[in-house]
Amino acid sequence: MADTLTDEPVSLTGELRVVDDVAAAFRTLVTTTRFPSIALSGGSTAEACYRALADAPELEWRSVVVLFGDERFVPVEHEDSNEGMARRVLLDRIETGAIHSAAVGATPRAAAAAYDRLVRALGPVGLVHLGLGEDGHTASLFPGSPALEVADRMVVATGDDRHPHRRITFTYPAIAASPLVVFTVAGAEKRAAFAGVRRGDRSLPAARIRAERVVWLVDHDAAGP
Ligand code: 6PG
């Protein structure tokens, strides 16, 4: 199937929605969807999305279980903690179901093993929110990482010398089990990575994400002409 805009072969998995405001589009999608659990993401785009959600009076999350699709192995109080960000801008301002921290354990491997047990016990996460890095990573699935080939675990410890901190991350099987994955991508700096994902460049971890339903919320700067 060729892309009507560029005549390049398109193999983007899922639905592409090019929008003016990714955070507003995320808020609309999330507040009109019901899910028993959600895996939150990290980064500045996710932060903008969660700020938009915090102001949504219609948000009813009293029974929603909250997890983290990836986390830095730092205390929640650390400025780089994904959970710390989500609590500051959203979770501490609303009522939710259980919030399951990911960076809990003596070592990243111990924390990942514990989270793997939890994710297996909880079953498929109702909505997994993902971002896109400029290098095509998503969650903490980094290019060339052994974590990309893990098929028998839902959560692993990972990291590389290009991204800060050791990480805990969902694996492809954990994400693929979800009924709904929502990517949010904003900014011209993501254009090359998103174009690569659209081409199906499998060297980009985000291009290999599969799930029952994948929705891409991408702004005009990231989507390109
Ligand atoms: C992380 C994130 C990561 C993020 C992307 C996009 O822990 O760093 O989960 O996958 O979503 O890097 O981040 P930005 O929105 O800040 O570009």
DSSP secondary structure string for all residues of 206-217: GGG---S-EEEE
Residue 10 is predicted with a pLDDT of: 60
Residues 6+ apart with CB under 8 A from 52: 23, 24, 26, 27
Mean pLDDT of 167-181: 98
Query: Ligand 1 centroid vs 210 CA: distance in angstroms?
Result: 18
Ligand 1 and 46: CB distance under 6 A:
yes
Model's pTM, two decimal places?
0.95
Percent of the chain with pLDDT over 70: 96
Length of the chain equals 225
Average of per-residue pLDDT values in the chain? 95
Instruction: Using the atom order of ligand 1, give the atom closest to the CA of residue 45.
Output: 15
For residue range 31-42, list pLDDT tens digits in order: 999 999 999 999
CA gap 146, 158 in Å, rounded: 8
Query: Ligand 1 centroid vs 137 CA: distance in angstroms?
Result: 8
Instruction: Using the atom order of ligand 1, give the atom closest to the CA of residue 46.
Output: 15
Residue 57 is predicted with a pLDDT of: 86
Ligand 1 and 187: CB distance under 6 A:
no
Contact (CB, 8 A) for 223 and 22: no
Other CB atoms within 10 Å distance of the CB of residue 119: 25
Residue 2 is predicted with a pLDDT of: 47
Ligand 1 and 139: CB distance under 6 A:
yes
**Dihedral (Cα; 195, 197, 200, 203), 10-degree rounding:** 110
Ligand 1 and 136: CB distance under 6 A:
no
Selected residue with higher pLDDT from 18 and 10: 18
CA max distance for the chain: 51
Query: Ligand 1 centroid vs 185 CA: distance in angstroms?
Result: 10
Residue 188 is predicted with a pLDDT of: 98
